[in-house]
Structure 1
Amino acid sequence: MKKIAIHLFVVSLLFMYESTFAQSAQADLTKWPKGASPKEIGKRVADRFIATPHPNFGRPTPPKTITYPEVCAWYGALTFEKESKGAKLKIALIQRFEPFFKEEASLVPVPDHVDYTVFGSIPLELYMQTKEKKYLDMGQAIADKQWGPPEGPRVKEESHLYHRMGHTWQTRLWIDDMFMITAVQAQAYRATGEQKYIDRAAREMVMYLDSLQRENGLFYHAPDVPFFWGRGNGWMAAGTAELLRSLPESNPDRPRIMEGYKKMMATLLKYQANDGMWRQLIDDPESWPETSCTGMFTFAMITGVKNGWLDKEVYGAASRKGWLALISYIDANGDIREVCEGTNKKNDRQYYLDRKRLTGDMHGQAPVLWCATALLRK
Structure 2
Amino acid sequence: MAPDPLAVFTSPEGVENTPFEITTALADMTLQDTQALALRLVESLVKLKDESGEFRVPIPTGGFKVDSKSWNNWEWTQGVGLYGMWKLFEITGDTMVLGHIQAWFDFQFAKGTPTKNVNSMAPMLTLAYLYEHTGELKYRAYLESWAEFIMHGIPRTEEGGIQHITFRQVNEGELWDDTLMMSVLPLAKIGVLLKRPAYVEEAKRQFLLHIKYLVDRRTGLWYHGWTFLERHHFGAALWGRGNSWVTIAIPEFLSLLDLPQDDHLRVVLLSTLEQQAIALKKFQNANGLWHTLIDDPKSYLEVSASAGFSFGLLKSVRLGYLGKEYHEVGRKGLEAVVNNVNEKGLVQNVSFGTPMGANKDFYRKIRLTAMPYGQAMTLLCVVERMRQYL
Q: TM-score, normalised by structure 2?
A: 0.77
Q: CA deviation at 1:217?
A: 0.8
Distance 1:302 1:63 in 2: 32
Report the Cα distance in structure 1 between the residues aligned to 2:174 and 2:34, rounded to whole angstroms: 35
Match of 1:280 in 2: 292
* Farther off after superposition, 261-270 or 236-245: 236-245
2:91 is the counterpart of 1:83 = yes
Structure of greater Rg: 1
Q: What is the CA–CA distance in structure 2 between the aligned matches of 1:369 and 1:146, rounded to whole Å?
A: 28
What residue number does 2:61 align with? none
Aligned to 1:177: 179
Offset of 1:265 from its aligned partner?
1.0
Name which of 98, 101, 115 aligns with 1:93: 101
**What is the distance in 2 between the residues matched to 1:372 and 1:317?**
15
d(CA) in 2 for partners of 1:230 and 1:124?
Answer: 28
**How far apart are residue 302 of structure 1 and its match?**
1.4
* Residue from 38, 41, 48 that aligns with 1:42: 38
Percent identity, aligned pairs only?
22
Q: Which amino acid aligns with 1:342?
A: G
Structure with higher helix content? 1
1:289-368 equivalences in 2 (<5 Å): 289-312=301-324, 314-358=325-369, 360-368=370-378
Deviations 1:59-83 (A, max 9, x none): 3977496111111011111221121
Q: Per-residue deviation at 1:331? A: 0.9
Say which of 135, 144, 149 aligns to 2:148.
Answer: 144
Deviations 1:246-285 (A, max 9, x none): 1232454221111111111111111111211111111112
Distance 1:322 1:36, change over 3 A: farther
| 8 Å CA contact 1:54, 1:70 repeated in 2 | no
Shift, 1:336, TM fit? 0.7
Counterparts in 2 of 1:210-225, with a 5 A limit? 210-215=212-217, 216-222=219-225, 223-225=233-235
1:365 to 1:226, Cα distance in 2 relative to 1, 3 A: same
Name the structure 1 match of 2:129: 125
2:271 matches 1:259: yes
List alignment gaps of at least 5 residues for structure 1.
1-28
Report which stretch shifted further, 294-303 or 230-239: 230-239
1:249 alignment partner in structure 2: 259
**Separation in 2, partners of 1:43, 1:30:** 17
Is 1:134 the counterpart of 2:159? The answer is: no
Q: Which amino acid aligns with 2:319?
A: N
User: Which of 353, 358, 370 pairs up with 2:380?
Assistant: 370
> SS at the partner of 1:148?
helix
> Distance in 1 between the 2:43 and 2:359 partners?
38
Cα deviation for residue 32 of structure 1 reads 4.8
Asked whether the equivalents of residues 127 and 191 of structure 1 are also in contact (C-alpha less than 8 Å), the reply is no
Please state if 1:240 is matched with 2:250. Answer: yes
Normalised by the length of structure 1, the TM-score is 0.80
Which of the pair has the greater relative contact order for Cα pairs under 8 Å at 6+ separation? Answer: 2
Q: How much is the aligned-residue C-alpha RMSD, in angstroms?
A: 2.8
Q: Closer, same or farther in 2 for the Cα pair 1:288/1:39, shift >3 Å?
A: same
State the number of aligned residues. Answer: 334
Conserved? CA contact 2:48–2:371, under 8 Å = no
Amino acid at match of 1:71: G
Q: Deviations over 1:293-339 (max 9, x none)?
A: 10111111012011111122x21111111111001111111111111
Map Cα deviations across residues 226-265 of structure 1 (whole Å, 9 max, x no partner).
2211112112222222212212324542211111111111
Q: Which amino acid aligns with 2:47?
A: A
Q: Which runs of 5+ in 2 are unaligned?
A: 1-24, 58-64, 165-172, 226-232
User: What secondary structure is seen at the aligned counterpart in 1 of 2:143?
Assistant: helix
Q: Which amino acid aligns with 2:382?
A: A
